[in-house]
């Protein structure tokens, strides 16, 4: 007879885990409110906010006009008045009208006021491809914002992290870009709904939550090569590691979780052990986060490397039509080819 799972552990998909995390944060703090296009009665395009308008009302789950700069600008003003707004950008490519508000206001106000003002805004963005959508519904925007000092940029890869990290982002005093891998919204997993709440209720919980959110996770242990990924690419790396094992190659998979800042302690510990690294992301390789990560590994672990750091990602071109997206996106074959190349050294 199988023992029943603890009451706090539930099976959820990634989208449902974000919904549950938002609900928990709103129940914990009445100053947390949601803003975005069609997030109220409709529950959002991907139904991530489904049921929240019904339970919390339209004063805390606010349907906004189609005006991203206005949405983010209003959220900044509300944060300065003591609220904690969680903004939804309906699709990744729709964030660009708000680029000025995010990079020149949201990211800079704490520094500009010498720490006197804090702007705890969370911007949720369904991002990346894999769902057969058009260009402005499939882009990977992380490098544009990771380059901007003052923003935290994170992306969960599992339902457990989705549930934990959305609450940690809301608890953080810093502005957070929360990138949700839309092709993974339906991936299911076990979620412990008690763990992060205990952390947040402890003394210094917000500080601990911010630190935890930025910490990488060893998703699979290995000894021959390190695969580094975040968000939608983590599952792809785990699949690649499984196939590599059939060829007697032991691949360690690191789920970065945070793009800015990187958890270099965990990354370097893995790379120094394996001596080889492959970075995987959907965004174009050119001028991307993989290049930054490769440079830091080269600076800090050069004498541990048996081969150059390889990068697998999108191509330096606009996101293609849905018919061709699987030729554009990283694949298991492309990752295994990079593994073969580093293992040849």
C-alpha distances in Å from residue 102, one per residue of 73, 74, 144, 217, 265: 8, 12, 11, 28, 29
pLDDT in tens, 243-258: 999 999 999 999 999 9
DSSP assignment of 229-253? E-TTHHHHHHHHHHHHHHTT--EEE
Residues 111, 150 contacting (CB under 8 angstroms):
yes
pTM: 0.94
Query: What does the pLDDT read at residue 3?
Result: 47
Q: Confidence band (pLDDT; 50, 70, 90) for 317?
A: very high
Residue 134 to residue 319: CA distance in whole angstroms: 8
Query: What would the pLDDT profile of 64-112 be if each residue is shown by its tens digit?
Result: 999 999 999 999 999 999 999 999 999 999 999 999 999 999 999 999 9
What pLDDT, on a 0 to 100 scale, did the predictor assign at position 292? 97
Place of tokens 């390889």: 310
Strands 258-260 and 152-154, by their bridges, are antiparallel
203 band by pLDDT with thresholds 50, 70 and 90: low
Please tell me whether residue 305 adopts helix, strand or coil conformation: coil
**Which residues of the chain form CATH 3.40.50.920?**
217-343
- Higher-confidence position of 4 and 222: 222
C-alpha span between 172 and 240 (Å, rounded): 34
Give the right CATH number for 217-343 from 3.40.50.920, 3.40.50.170, 2.30.38.10, 3.40.190.10. 3.40.50.920
Residue ranges matching CATH 3.40.50.970 in the chain = 9-213
Q: Write the DSSP assignment of 61-82 as a string of letters.
A: EEE--S-HHHHHHHHHHHHHTT
- Check whether 207 has a pLDDT greater than 60: yes
pLDDT band, residue 1 (cuts 50/70/90): very low
Mean pLDDT of the chain: 94
CA distances from 91 to 81, 149, 211, 213, 242 (A): 27, 23, 27, 23, 32
Assigned CATH class of 9-213: alpha beta
The arithmetic mean of pLDDT across residues 21-25, rounded, is: 97
Residues that are catalytic: 137
Is the pLDDT assigned to residue 133 strictly greater than 80? yes
Q: CA 328, CA 83: separation in Å to the nearest integer?
A: 41
What is the predicted pLDDT for the residue at 7?
61
């Amino acid at each position: 007879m199988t023992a029943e799972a603890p009451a706090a552990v539930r099976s959820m998909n990634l989208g449902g885990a974000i919904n549950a995390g938002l609900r928990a944060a709103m129940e914990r703090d009445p100053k947390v409110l949601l803003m975005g296009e069609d997030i109220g009665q409709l529950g959002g395009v991907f139904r991530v906010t489904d049921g929240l308008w019904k339970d919390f009302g339209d004063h805390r789950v606010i349907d906004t006009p189609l005006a991203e700069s206005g949405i983010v600008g209003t959220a900044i003003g509300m944060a300065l008045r003591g609220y904690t707004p969680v903004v939804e950008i309906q699709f990744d490519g729709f964030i660009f009208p708000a680029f000025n508000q995010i990079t020149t206001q949201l990211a800079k106000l704490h520094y500009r006021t010498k720490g006197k003002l804090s702007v705890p805004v969370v911007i949720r963005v369904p991002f990346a491809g894999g769902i057969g959508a058009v260009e402005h519904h499939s882009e990977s925007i992380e490098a544009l914002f990771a380059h901007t000092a003052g923003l935290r940029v994170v992306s969960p890869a599992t339902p457990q992290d989705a549930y934990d990290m959305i609450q940690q982002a809301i608890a953080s005093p810093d502005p957070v870009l929360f990138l949700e891998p839309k092709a993974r919204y339906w991936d299911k997993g076990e979620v412990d709904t008690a763990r992060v709440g205990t952390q947040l209720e402890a003394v210094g919980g917000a500080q601990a939550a911010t630190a935890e959110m930025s910490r990488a996770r060893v998703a699979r242990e290995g000894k021959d090569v390190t695969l580094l990924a975040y968000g939608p690419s983590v599952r792809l790396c785990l699949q690649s590691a499984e196939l590599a094992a059939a060829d007697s190659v032991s691949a360690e998979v690191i789920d970065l979780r945070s793009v800015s800042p990187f958890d270099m302690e965990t990354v370097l510990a893995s790379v120094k052990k394996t001596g080889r690294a492959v970075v995987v992301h959907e965004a174009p390789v050119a001028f991307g986060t993989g290049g930054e990560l490769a440079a830091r590994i080269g600076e800090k672990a050069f004498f541990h490397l048996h081969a150059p750091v390889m990068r697998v990602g999108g191509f330096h071109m606009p996101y293609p039509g849905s018919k061709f997206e699987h030729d554009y996106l990283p694949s298991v074959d492309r990752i295994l080819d990079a593994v073969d190349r580093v293992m040849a050294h």
